[in-house]
Amino acid sequence: MATGLINLAALTKAELQALTARWGWTRYRAAQLWEWLYRRRAATFDVMTNLSVEMRSELVRRACVRWPSVVERRVASDGTRKLLIELEDGRRIESVLIPDEHRLTLCLSTQVGCTLDCGFCLTGTMGLSRNLKAHEIVGQWVAAQQELEPHPDDLPARVTNLVFMGMGEPLANLAQLADALTRLTDPHGIAVPPRRITVSTAGLAPQIAELGRLAPAVNLAVSLNAADDATRARIMPLASRYSLDDVMAACRAYPLGPRRFITFEYVLLDRVNDTDDDARRLAALLRGLRAKVNLIPWNPFPGAPFRRPSDDRVARFQRILLDRHLPTYVRKSKGLEILAACGQLHSDANRAPERPPMPLAVS
């Protein structure tokens, strides 16, 4: 790859307009370029036939289009695909394509690693290398779409839903996340409906409010995982910075349109946060909120100090919440055999360090 070329994929729409203006091009030409990049996903300039030959030649001399690339893929028996994606600096992240009966969900990463170190999450063992740039976040969508062309007969031809639940804490990289959301939802580009996008957070209370201001139409999911501060602090170090009162206050102030809910994710850990009392505390905590709960029986990974609760215990926990009129679902984990399920992403999973045993709660 020649050096000194401007990567158009790395530019915001305003930056692209400013660049082409410096070249003496009209604003309309910048709009055409934007559509080629995001709607048609052009990787070369020769296909941009609504630009003159002279313009295309100038682009070849001055610019390029570089997206992150897939360097490895693993496919589970349930159709889940985990993509190992390499960035320009050689760092690697993981994204996951999750097929369902009527949709194809892409789970996106926002950081290389994660700094939160939640005890039940493999990604936290990596530490944080850096935040992803907006075009690296969007580039995961580009890479996923390329994986589907030509697509297998058992998968849709296009990603239908996006969840920011991959590697990293999305709201710890809010500026680049907001830029990526703008590109993903732009009606002149990728045009993903905001209602089909969910941003998950471990509970960065101030940033929840800021997300509501920057991208109020996307869905919010909060990884709660305990209904009391003591238990939450044991498994989520972030809880020492933001209490449940802080998180709940941010959630109650979050802008919700008609028929919209906040999703609360709850990873169930055997004899840590899965008792009947835990369920009752959770129901009381969410009372009065437009909320629904996704229960996630813990997905194991090498060296972790936890156990997955029994199916009976999961069902009992769900029943307590349902009896209190709280919509509650048990998430079916996909891709377990390839470490692609919730909390299992790691760009080098075979070298995950062991953690010391977690002391069991006394109930």
State the catalytic residues: 94, 342
Distance CA 32, CA 35 (A): 5
Distance CA 5, CA 163 (A): 32
Tell me, letter by letter, the H, E, C secondary structure of 51-88.
Answer: CCHHHHHHHHHHEECCCCEEEEEEECCCCCEEEEEECC
Angle at CA of residue 265, ends 262 and 269, nearest 5°: 160
Q: Exposed/middle/buried for 26, CB within 10 Å: 0-12, 13-18, 19+?
A: exposed
Cβ-based neighbour number of residue 166 at 10 Å:
24
Backbone angles phi, psi at 69, to 5 degrees: -120, 150
Which residues share a beta bridge with 234? none
Distance CA 260, CA 275 (A): 29
Which residues share a beta bridge with 63? 6
Distance CA 159, CA 192 (A): 9
Distance CA 280, CA 361 (A): 17
Distance CA 210, CA 98 (A): 29
Q: Which residues of 308-339 are buried (b: 16+ CB within 10 A; e: fewer)?
A: bbeeebbeebbebbeeeebebebbebbbbebb
3-state secondary structure of 100: coil
Distance CA 59, CA 113 (A): 35
